[in-house]
Amino acid sequence: MDRKTLGWTVGLVVVITAGIIRFVLWDESRTSQRLTQEAEGFTALATQWYDSSAEQNVARGGEELQGLLEPR
């Protein structure tokens, strides 16, 4: 393959790749805008991480809290 053909081939691959990336980013932007409009007033909460299964069990209202959670 001579230099001219190689240059055209690399250029074509770069243009096609850039087009695909541009389309994906454009589509994601549209999806984000749509979801923002559909979920107006919705607030996402940060993910909670637990150090142990006992903490996770308490956070879920596990057996340790069952007596405390009963209605009065």
Per-residue model confidence (pLDDT) at position 15: 98
Map out the domains of the chain as residue ranges: 3-69
Per-residue model confidence (pLDDT) at position 7: 94
pTM for the model? 0.51
Q: Is the separation of the CB atoms in 57 and 63 below 8 Å?
A: yes
pLDDT tens digit at each of 72 positions of the chain: 799 999 999 999 999 999 999 999 999 999 988 888 887 777 766 666 656 555 555 555 555 555 555 555
Per-residue model confidence (pLDDT) at position 40: 79
